[in-house]
Amino acid sequence: MSLPPPAIPTQNNLDLDELHKALGKGLTQWQHVESGLFLLALPLMGTDLKTCFLAFLQIKSAENKLAFVDRLIFHKLEQKVRSAFWNPIRKEIREAIDFRNSLAHFESFYLTDDEFKNINPPTNYRVAISHHHLDEHSRKGGIYKLLTVEIVNQNAEQLRLTNYRIMYFIVDHVPHTELLIKSLPPRLQQFLDSFRKKTRLPGFEPPPQSSR
């Protein structure tokens, strides 16, 4: 089975509008994850802000950014911190990267009547995203990856929670010096302070003993 040609944006298509909203939400949430990875790299590099910016932004792919931060953590943090706290977060980020790449590279499609009827889990919208319609290799055996509006929204929410875990990992295990914090651009400093200084959400309590 192959998907029909990609959906062409038209006016007053409410289903396609909802898909576009979900895609925007997912991509926006991903940017917070990348900001968290930068704030994690900064104190571990032990350098000034500008040098860290140059090094981090020179890395183009999300996979390589994660690998870079992971090596810094391996070099700088104790094994028990890596095993108990970082490794689960790293796994989440790895899965988040796959989702982010889908948002960036998939096409939108109108679902056929049969697809809309049989899709599992069910969806309320007649549109979804999947591999490029010319990419037959991705649908070998008649099976292909399909993301509905609901799945995109669910994954976008998971990105938000992943970002929280990254930021609280920083607060608990990779504290920034006050001098380094003052060197951050105002918006980035505000972003970090929203986790350092505000009451934590339920489910994000600090460990019994942080490594600070």
Q: What is the pLDDT of residues 56-101, one digit of tens each?
A: 999 999 999 999 999 999 999 999 999 999 999 999 999 999 999 9
Q: Judge whether 191 lies within some domain.
A: yes
Q: Judge whether 120 lies within some domain.
A: yes
pLDDT band at 146 (very low <50, low <70, confident <90, very high): confident
Element housing 109 (H / E):
strand 107-110
Tell which phi-psi region holds residue 203, choosing left (phi > 0), alpha (psi between -120 and 50) or beta: left
Q: What is the pLDDT of residues 25-39, one digit of tens each?
A: 999 999 999 999 999
pLDDT of residue 1: 43
Q: Judge whether 166 lies within some domain.
A: yes
Judge whether residue 5 has pLDDT over 60.
no
Burial degree of 185 (CB within 10 A; 0-12, 13-18, 19+): exposed
Structural domains of the chain, count: 1
pLDDT of residue 209: 67
Q: Judge whether 132 lies within some domain.
A: yes
